[in-house]
Structure 1
Amino acid sequence: METLIMVGQLLLGLSILVGLHELGHLLTAKMFGMRVEKFSIGFPPKIAGFQWGETEYSIGAIPLGGFVKISGMVDESMDTAQLASEPQPWEFRAKPAWQRLIVMLGGIIVNVITGIIIFVALVYKNGETYFSRDQVIENGIVAYEYGEAIGLKTGDKVLDINGQPYQSINDLSSGSALLSENGYYTVDRDGQQVKIEIPRGFINTFNSEESFSKFIAVRFPFEVGGVEPGSGAAEAGIDAGDKILAVNSTPITYFDQMQSALQNLKSQSAQIVRQRDSQIDTLNIPVSEEARIGIAVNPLIEPVRREYAFVEAVSKGTARAFGVVIVNAKALGKMFTGEVSAKNVSGPIGMAKIYGASWDWVKFWSITGLISMILAFMNLLPIPALDGGHVMFLLYEMVSGRAPSDKFLENAQKVGMVILLALMVFAIGNDILKLFT
């Protein structure tokens, strides 16, 4: 069932984005009087379709893309028979270069607009919820495996990133921070300022959603939120609202301190100093093999909840959308230098796993908006067979006054298809390898 939910979300998200992308090409082509022969979401073989006017609309069985076939254009269909005759007024090749340029940019523009609308809507409807810089500085952080690996320690108070203040703890593991040149954190450690450098390639550590939980978290004071029936805590009389002040004479303020103390007392008895209202007493409680005493906890700090007016949401959502493009452009550049591992490239399996095994509409639209911006960026790359390849040749024509020959465009399209197929095989191979590592 979980697999079906992941696949369902992926197919729905891709169908929306591919459909809108190809719709951008279709509308701009028709706007300039070009004949659109086919509009397909998914690649052949065709599952279903219908004819409306001059255009056949269909759904293909391979749901990893789509296409629009415009008369007189060398595209991925490699149908060049009509190019032997004189250009007809309704054909792509008969139109001015600037009109053809707009048609080729139509899908990218629609994906950008879609991404912006999604992020603006999410910000406006849901606002933001986060632990703020002030809360991090007041309470400090818990450094887990990846945080400790670069020199962070539990209790550190992170003051800035690269000398600049930040808004939330999420910024400390953002792509812009991890991809920055000579990046570093400034922390207050026991009253002394310490510079913690972000190692080159550290972003490769964050190759899954679970990996972020191994970095850092905000430290929080707590009280007992509930007690497991039949547990040692329940037998000792601990109840919701109680506070744990010490474990075996070790003072306890934060939840991580209690976890650490109990780790050293597995399968033993712990002396727990408990406070209930103004009463303080000491209880002997057995500790399980999993270092638990049978309580749930309530954090005593609440994340910041911020709502945005519509105008603010437009600004914030647009910045967030283009931030995705900037981070991906940086990552691609660093991939060529070897700083970012090509193993981070994901195919459909990786994308499905990002959506997750539970259907959460906020997460669904967040990921779909992110993918929309990434699709726009990737499609703009100057690779033949992508929109960016066509744009590159059209710009050459507009600057030089000479159009590349049909034969050249046909061969370039073939090369581009080989490149795209190789990239797809590589991405799917990465997905398969990750399943076994």
Structure 2
Amino acid sequence: MDALQYTIGFLIFFVGILISIGLHEVGHMVPAKKFGGKVTQYFIGFGPTVRSWQVGETEYGVKAIPLGGYVKIVGMLPPGAEDLADDVSIGADGQQVTRIRKSNTGMFTQLISDARAAEWELVGPEDSERLFYKMAWWKKVVVMAGGPSVNILIAFFLFWALFAIHGNDNDELVTTTLDEVQACIVPPDEAGRVCTADEIKNQPTPAFKAGLKVGDRIVSFNGVDATSWTQVQQLIRDNGNRRATIVVERDGDLKTITTKTTVTPRIIDEDADPEPVGFLGVRPSTEPATGGPIYTVQQMGGMTVDVLHALVTLPAKVLDVGKAIVGLQDRDPQGPVSIVGGGRLAGEVASHDGTTVGEKVVFFTVLLAGFNLFIGMFNFIPLLPLDGGHIASALWEAVRRGLARVRGRPDPGYVDAAKLLPVAYVVASALLVMGVVLIVGDLVVPVHLES
């Protein structure tokens, strides 16, 4: 394994993930600013600040731990009625000032109160009409859905480019080009074995006897233009033991070959016994299916189902990784990996001598697109602190206010996401634990390409 190539592959993938994270946060920041919200920070990473710079009212920067990112939108949490100080006070400059006092009645109440206080320390009198919680519910949805939507769009464009240029290796098309010309007729249950010299001499296949070659593309069969392998296969089976005129394209030229198909038992239905049908003795080649944006959307629809299943089973899969770390079982090569694991796989591909540059590009594209699709859908889970939790709160606000209008009741006001902070802390803790387990697993019992 070439250490330099491994490192380059790891870094390329890691930079790709950081760019994806950065664009995710842009997906939040741009609509927030467009709707008049105040964004005070845009950072890639967590922990100590490595470098930052101020542009207008927003501080942009990079932090030491590049495993995520965030944007700070002022006024995410509304002030709770129980936390308001004696109404308002007038500051030295004559401006009205709202003060949030900290409650000390119960652990969860204290957590909520502390969060509100920290939030409102950043709010000035001039920000009154720019607070996130005061936005219309649909604007909140757009802002919070912007991040994961960007990840899904990144996945879409990567897959589109891949399917249009290279094709989809998971959706192969059977062509009318020959990949194999069988030398002798063998029973269906012995398909694939090497023919003996006597078998080639005494029972050659019609294709071998007629001189068909690997790479020949069947253009027509008995005067019928070949449009698909399924059609050609049926024409051969229906021909029985009769004469067959086959036009093939070989090295750019058309060549007419005359032969006679034979009748031999073949497996038509996997659940049924072999049936006697016309037989030529060839196998077709396959190639990745290609397509444009509609094809890409269709393929991503199937991937979405797989991702949803992966999300449901994620806790159990992470537990399996934990068991593998302590030696209770082997690591599942098809199980989840962290960004570290993805980087290791990228490094292995980059340093693999038997892999062409094109194959490496395809692998990197699929890996990065897959991560973006997963990250995007993961963030739509309707639980705080994920984006989906904020979206769910905004949608509930819309439903609650709509029902109040229909029933002629007073406006219930904004949904107080702060009251869900205990749930958010539990979810965040669970995500942190799962992330640590996956990273440790990728260091101790990593998934390899050979697995």
Gaps of 5+ in 2: 79-113, 182-188, 194-227, 231-264, 273-280, 322-331, 351-359, 402-411
User: 2:135 maps to which residue?
Assistant: 95
User: 1:70 maps to which residue?
Assistant: 73
Cα distance, 1:126 vs structure 2: 2.9
Q: In structure 2, do the counterparts of structure 1 residues 397 and 128 end up closer, same or farther at CA, with 3 Å as the change threshold?
A: closer
SS of structure 1 residue aligned to 2:13 = helix
5 Å-filtered alignment, 1:36-47, equals 36-47=39-50
Q: In structure 2, do the counterparts of structure 1 residues 36 and 352 end up closer, same or farther at CA, with 3 Å as the change threshold?
A: same
C-alpha contact (below 8 Å) 1:74/1:409 kept by paired residues: no
User: 1:143 maps to which residue?
Assistant: none
Gaps of 5+ in 1: 141-151, 157-164, 168-188, 197-252, 255-299
User: 2:295 maps to which residue?
Assistant: 316
Give me the whole-angstrom Cα distance separating, in 2, the residues matched to 1:195 and 1:305.
Answer: 28
Tell me, yes or no, if structure 1 residue 410 matches structure 2 residue 413. no
Cα distance, 1:304 vs structure 2: 3.0
User: 2:150 maps to which residue?
Assistant: 110
**Which stretch has the larger CA shift, 65-74 or 426-435?**
426-435
SS of structure 2 residue aligned to 1:39 = strand
2:60 to 57, 62, 65: 57
5 Å-filtered alignment, 1:156-171, equals none
Q: In structure 2, do the counterparts of structure 1 residues 132 and 58 end up closer, same or farther at CA, with 3 Å as the change threshold?
A: same
Cα distance, 1:132 vs structure 2: 4.0
User: 2:107 maps to which residue?
Assistant: none
Cα distance, 1:406 vs structure 2: 5.3
- Using the size of structure 2 for normalisation, the TM-score is 0.55
User: 1:387 maps to which residue?
Assistant: 387
Q: Please list the CA deviations of residues 19-59 of structure 1 after superposition, one character each: whole Å capped at 9, or x if unmatched.
A: 11100000010010000011111112222221111111111
Matched letter for residue 13 of structure 1: G
Cα distance, 1:110 vs structure 2: 1.4
User: What count of residue pairs does the alignment treat as equivalent?
Assistant: 291
C-alpha contact (below 8 Å) 1:379/1:387 kept by paired residues: yes
Q: In structure 2, do the counterparts of structure 1 residues 137 and 377 end up closer, same or farther at CA, with 3 Å as the change threshold?
A: farther
Q: Please list the CA deviations of residues 87-130 of structure 1 after superposition, one character each: whole Å capped at 9, or x if unmatched.
A: 71111122122211111111122112221122212222334568
Cα distance, 1:362 vs structure 2: 3.4
C-alpha contact (below 8 Å) 2:155/2:373 kept by paired residues: yes
C-alpha contact (below 8 Å) 1:119/1:318 kept by paired residues: no
CA RMSD of aligned residues (A): 4.1
Q: Please list the CA deviations of residues 113-157 of structure 1 after superposition, one character each: whole Å capped at 9, or x if unmatched.
A: 2211222122223345686446899869xxxxxxxxxxx99749x
User: 1:374 maps to which residue?
Assistant: 374
Tell me, yes or no, if structure 1 residue 330 matches structure 2 residue 344. no
**Which stretch has the larger CA shift, 320-329 or 425-434?**
425-434
Tell me, yes or no, if structure 1 residue 81 matches structure 2 residue 118. yes
1:125 to 162, 165, 170: 165
Q: In structure 2, do the counterparts of structure 1 residues 354 and 56 end up closer, same or farther at CA, with 3 Å as the change threshold?
A: same
Q: In structure 2, do the counterparts of structure 1 residues 361 and 48 end up closer, same or farther at CA, with 3 Å as the change threshold?
A: farther
Give me the whole-angstrom Cα distance separating, in 1, the residues matched to 2:417 and 2:286.
Answer: 60
- Using the size of structure 1 for normalisation, the TM-score is 0.57
Q: Percent identity?
A: 25
Cα distance, 1:195 vs structure 2: 4.5
Q: In structure 2, do the counterparts of structure 1 residues 404 and 136 end up closer, same or farther at CA, with 3 Å as the change threshold?
A: farther
C-alpha contact (below 8 Å) 1:43/1:66 kept by paired residues: yes
5 Å-filtered alignment, 1:188-199, equals 191=267, 193-195=269-271
Q: In structure 2, do the counterparts of structure 1 residues 384 and 135 end up closer, same or farther at CA, with 3 Å as the change threshold?
A: farther
C-alpha contact (below 8 Å) 1:111/1:375 kept by paired residues: yes
Tell me, yes or no, if structure 1 residue 26 matches structure 2 residue 9. no
C-alpha contact (below 8 Å) 1:34/1:90 kept by paired residues: yes
User: 2:237 maps to which residue?
Assistant: none
